[in-house]
Structure 1
Amino acid sequence: MAYYRQLGPVPQQRHTLFKDEDGNVLYEELMGEEGFSLDSALLYHQHIPSALVGARTWELPDQSLTPNDPLLPRHLRLHDLFTEEQTPDVDAVTGRRLVLGNSDVRLSYAHVGTTSPLYKNGLGDECVYVEAGSALVETQFGPLEVAEGDYVMIPRATIHRWVLRGDETARLYFIEANSHIAPPKRYLSKYGQLLEHAPYSERDLRGPTETLLREESDVELYIKHRGRGTSGLQGSIHILPHHPFDVVGWDGCLYPYVFNIKNYMPLTGKVHQPPPSHQVFEGHNFVICNFVPRKVDYHELAVPVPYYHSNVDSDEIMFYVDGDYEARKGSGIAKGSISIHPGGHPHGPQPGAIEASIGAEYFDETAVMVDTFRPLDLGEAALATDDGLYASSWTGGRWIEEAGR
């Protein structure tokens, strides 16, 4: 995010000798994207950030993917993935379960109740949507308080952990990119400022407000990174001689931040607005949109629910968070559901939804949508929660079994 911030002391000039008040040398680290030709930050450590005293393999949670074959729209019930008895032992790093994925993005889910290990994603940025609950996200840039409705943007290789305090729990939806995630380019000026037509501004973005220092030795850091397996992913655990939260000051345009969905200003119109009008972020070969409570169309013959549409270049993944999603009434979809509408299959309102929406002035619905430009395969969490009925919901449950073919 090209929006300059500074926390803690930094030297007047970059790449010059810098010492703390006791005369100890502080170690400068340049953290930069795309070969240092995109956003970057300069961090000043108390200890050498490269230091390592041990390493071992981290066996990642199940990353297997199964093709959506035969091609079907599907309904997944994510709230069925974790029982209330399991939640106290689930953390946001080792406990997330893979729902969908391809070579550009992976969608995972967890209902967490305990603090995670220290972690960094070496493959790409993570955008984590907090469906419910609260947590403290500690990062090497400083802490972030997060709660229901927050998008938590964590740049690639940012060391962080999810801290659950007391009886806190959180339902988390993870969008893990193999690229960077940022506001859409059409929302940004030539130099990176959010423009007037953007549905949010820099005032809505919350970054760290204080640094975070920890003194510990022989600290474990979980790392997800590129590998040679069938998933292309690999996990390692590094043992660091000093705690990585030793940054006394930093500045730049690369850092974690939070944006709450309630601060998104929806675009509305005389007739139904297309999905790109709801976009909030984008990554390589995918976009993130959100649907929020809003006034709906005001043409005298307007049909407020979406028209049937074939998004021929994309798989459309809708995560239903809150409210009453008008177009899906009668399909079994509820809070915590995901609908999969694959490219190549037209989709739209359930039977009766068009008629029921006529005259509506306001929709009370909240959902997070990810559209991908490569097909998504099914993770183990999708296979475990597919209701098996959604594809027949437009025909009242009628389904012909093709046995033996």
Structure 2
Amino acid sequence: MAELKYISGFGNECASEDPRCPGSLPKGQNNPQVCPYNLYAEQLSGSAFTCPRNTNKRSWLYRILPSVSHKPFESIDQGHVTHNWDEVGPDPNQLRWKPFEIPKASEKKVDFVSGLYTLCGAGDIKSNNGLAVHIFLCNSSMENRCFYNSDGDFLIVPQKGKLLIYTEFGKMSLQPNEICVIQRGMRFSVDVFEETRGYILEVYGVHFELPDLGPIGANGLANPRDFLIPVAWYEDRRVLGGYTVINKYQGKLFACKQDVSPFNVVAWHGNYTPYKYNLENFMVINAVAFDHADPSIFTVLTAKSLRPGVAIADFVIFPPRWGVADKTFRPPYYHRNCMSEFMGLIKGHYEAKQGGFLPGGGSLHSAMTPHGPDADCFEKASKAKLEPERIADGTMAFMFESSLSLAVTKWGLKTCSCLDENYYKCWEPLQSHFTPNSRSPTEPK
């Protein structure tokens, strides 16, 4: 794969032009009567025109043909993409899935779009409030096909296999331990080179942003300069038989044909772009005295709701770090939460979930459903010698956390063969250690 070029920064006003057409960005205005190289000017808006300047998102694209040049959209097979949260009845139990199975290319070729499976979600697309969690399982590249989402933003978390993502803004490579965000309305296509699996957090009505740092100060967590935006790249290509553009609109899939590749943008400028981030660049904040800090300190990106401090969705990671807290049970505490927590594992093993929680699988702990370390983890951590230790080396777990109560789809509960019916058994060995005649806890030797 050829080395790709990027622009650094999160949410910046950026500009880029393909070096094959120097001077393709108009000077002094966005929409001149005739654009350089006789290109078409087209604006892509990710917010209302009248949003405050600091939240206004838009980019100008200078392209060979405008995106309006296509045949009518027609409904196509929905596959396993859904936003019907009433397919099956609610289930408050702790849920866990074994690694989701990738179709074999020798049996059936499946690309990124045909390999999308909706696992859970909540809210309403038409009122622009909610989210969905999807799994992608694919073994082939998208050929003369692209996809765009009229409903919301896609945060893509690959777990297995490398991706080469073509966008209207340029090309991005993506591999496990990296993430990317393709924002609402942006057309993209995915090439894969082997069996590929990953997770997608979709939010509608809002965009992802960096969390406020508050008392942490100016530095820490994900730094804006570590986010990368692709450099402009275009292809001027006509497709025999037509190029297929797939649109997810109000939760349904539609397709249309056009004669040319949609990746014909020669130059662009603005602050509404796709972007990627390497999770290894996250600056961890952690407890250095006692007790266990809340997982919110590991938030990479957030999609805020209208209520201060409450998110439609947070993307949280649990990277390698040091554990040094004194007189403390160091693994995650037992917990009931008003949030819904979907967890996935990119690599390694998560400290509080021994066995069964594997890379490429997942778990869901719904609002107010209790969860916490399994019995084996509790016993080991209660007796461990408290000295500085490395936690999660070689591991990367993550969480999609939401204030909404997530419903699991029929595919997630009934159709896929990965649901772990024995998940609850990991807590069955927990024993009472109650000592009514002694206040003093048993100290590790």
TM-score surpassing 0.5? yes
* 1:290 corresponds to 2:317: yes
Q: In structure 2, what residue type is equivalent to 1:10?
A: L
**Which residues of 2 match residues 163-178 of structure 1 at below 5 A?**
163-164=191-192, 167-178=193-204
Alignment equivalent of 2:298, drawn from 255, 260, 278: 278
Post-superposition CA distance 1:67-120 (Å, at most 9, x none): 5634201111133x3244568712111211111121211111123221122000
What residue in structure 1 maps to residue 59 of structure 2? 41
**Which residues of 2 match residues 381-396 of structure 1 at below 5 A?**
381-383=411-413, 384=416, 385-396=418-429
TM-aligned CA distance change 1:352 to 1:69, over 3 Å: same
Post-superposition CA distance 1:169-200 (Å, at most 9, x none): 32221112213332234149xxxxx9733412
What residue in structure 2 maps to residue 97 of structure 1? 117
Q: How much has 1:162 moved relative to structure 2? A: 0.2
Q: How much has 1:214 moved relative to structure 2? A: 3.1
Q: How much has 1:278 moved relative to structure 2? A: 0.8
| Alignment partners' CA distance in 2, 1:86 and 1:262 | 35
* 1:73 corresponds to 2:94: yes
* 1:213 corresponds to 2:222: no
Is the contact made by 1:87 and 1:113 (CA closer than 8 Å) also made in structure 2?
no
Identity of aligned residues (%): 21
Q: How much has 1:206 moved relative to structure 2? A: 1.6
| Alignment partners' CA distance in 2, 1:134 and 1:372 | 28
In the alignment, structure 2 segments of 5+ residues that lack a partner are 1-9, 18-23, 124-129, 306-311, 432-445
| Alignment partners' CA distance in 2, 1:316 and 1:147 | 24
Q: How much has 1:126 moved relative to structure 2? A: 0.4
Alignment equivalent of 2:265, drawn from 223, 232, 247: 247
Is the contact made by 1:53 and 1:241 (CA closer than 8 Å) also made in structure 2?
no
| Alignment partners' CA distance in 1, 2:217 and 2:177 | 23
**Which residues of 2 match residues 288-367 of structure 1 at below 5 A?**
288-296=315-323, 298-311=324-337, 313-329=338-354, 332-357=356-381, 358=384, 359=386, 361-364=389-392, 365-367=395-397
* 1:51 corresponds to 2:76: no
What residue in structure 2 maps to residue 191 of structure 1? none
Q: How much has 1:125 moved relative to structure 2? A: 0.6
What residue in structure 2 maps to residue 402 of structure 1? none
Q: How much has 1:252 moved relative to structure 2? A: 0.8
- Provide TM-score, normalisation by structure 1: 0.87
What residue in structure 1 maps to residue 402 of structure 2? 372
Task: Please give the secondary structure, in 2, of the residue aligned with 1:250.
Answer: strand
Q: In structure 1, what residue type is equivalent to 2:375?
A: P
What residue in structure 2 maps to residue 182 of structure 1? 208
| Alignment partners' CA distance in 2, 1:71 and 1:397 | 21
Is the contact made by 2:105 and 2:140 (CA closer than 8 Å) also made in structure 1?
no
> How many residues in Structure 1 have an aligned counterpart in Structure 2?
378
| Alignment partners' CA distance in 1, 2:155 and 2:59 | 19
- Provide TM-score, normalisation by structure 2: 0.79
| Alignment partners' CA distance in 1, 2:107 and 2:234 | 28
Q: How much has 1:336 moved relative to structure 2? A: 2.1
Q: In structure 2, what residue type is equivalent to 1:335?
A: P
Is the contact made by 1:135 and 1:168 (CA closer than 8 Å) also made in structure 2?
no
In the alignment, structure 1 segments of 5+ residues that lack a partner are 189-193, 227-232, 399-405
TM-aligned CA distance change 1:87 to 1:131, over 3 Å: farther
* 1:82 corresponds to 2:102: yes
